[in-house]
């Protein structure tokens, strides 16, 4: 059972999560001279990314930030469905981050498994051959319960050796790349951003249950040496009390 930070709406949620992200980035750079972020796709983080590029942009030492992706739709980087494209449009165009520090998941291989392996090689290189230690991973939560591109019932949920896998999912676009749960669980901080009434049932199942990892992939997010935070708006929190306990049945 975990509680959640409940904010009135997506704007307040984005501001609160952005302020927290800035703190994490600054403290990582102050301590180690570098910061690694893994970004989520979807619509919810758009406002947060815009804030990181505008109101909060000058507080971030972009020359020390390295950007990665938690998942990617297997489409070209210019496709409207591309998570990389979304970040480019909302954030990258606005900030002085060196291009060599932006690491989108590759989507040009004929076989997506080769793309997953290429990203694993990159992660191993960037993290001294060890599991990736992201300072912050941002994740969304879909109404069907998927996080990154780890969908309920997927074999990828039991993967324990790979950092990145190619998956086929029951949603457009069906071919995706995703970090695995062990890769996520080596992060220092994992923040979920959840907004909108359509997420209320999935959020209640993830925070209150009853549920298991195969049905609620978010339950597999348990960093071994890190924190989890849930940033949610009131609409998504419809079935939660202020303490993250049920106040109404979603069924």
- What residues numbered 41-60 form the site for ligand 6PG, per CB under 6 A? 41-44
Interface region with ligand 6PG, contact rule CB under 6 A, candidates 89-97, 122-130, 139-147, 237-245: 139-147
140 counts as binding ligand 6PG under rule CB under 6 A: yes
233 counts as binding ligand 6PG under rule CB under 6 A: no
90 counts as binding ligand 6PG under rule CB under 6 A: no
In angstroms, give the least distance from the CB of 29 to ligand 6PG.
25
238 counts as binding ligand 6PG under rule CB under 6 A: no
In angstroms, give the least distance from the CB of 30 to ligand 6PG.
29
Could you tell me the CA-to-CA distances from 100 to 94, 193, 235 in Å, in that order? Answer: 16, 27, 39
- What residues numbered 141-170 form the site for ligand 6PG, per CB under 6 A? 142, 146-149
Interacting residues with ligand 6PG (CB under 6 A): 40-44, 71, 73, 83, 140, 142, 146-149
């Amino acid at each position: 059972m975990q509680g959640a930070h409940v904010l009135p709406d997506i704007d307040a949620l984005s501001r609160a999560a952005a302020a927290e992200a800035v703190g994490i980035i600054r403290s990582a750079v102050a301590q180690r001279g570098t910061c690694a972020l893994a970004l989520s796709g979807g619509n919810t983080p758009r406002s947060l990314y815009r804030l990181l590029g505008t109101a909060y942009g000058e507080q971030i030492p972009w020359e020390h930030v390295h950007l990665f992706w938690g998942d990617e739709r297997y489409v070209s980087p210019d496709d409207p469905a591309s998570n990389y494209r979304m970040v480019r449009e909302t954030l990258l165009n606005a900030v002085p981050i060196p291009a060599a520090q932006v690491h989108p998941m590759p989507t040009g291989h004929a076989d997506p498994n080769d793309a997953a392996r290429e990203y694993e090689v990159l992660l191993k290189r960037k993290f001294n051959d060890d599991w990736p230690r992201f300072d912050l991973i941002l994740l969304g939560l879909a109404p069907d319960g998927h996080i990154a591109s780890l969908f309920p019932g997927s074999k990828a949920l039991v993967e324990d050796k790979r950092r990145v896998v190619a998956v086929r999912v029951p949603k457009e676009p069906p071919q995706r790349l995703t970090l695995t749960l062990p890769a996520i669980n080596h992060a220092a901080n994992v923040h979920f951003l959840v907004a909108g009434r359509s997420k209320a049932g999935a959020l209640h199942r993830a925070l209150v249950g009853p549920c298991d990892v195969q049905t609620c992939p978010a339950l597999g997010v348990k960093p071994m040496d890190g924190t989890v935070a849930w940033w949610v708006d009131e609409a998504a929190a419809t079935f939660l009390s202020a303490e993250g306990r049920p106040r109404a049945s979603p069924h």
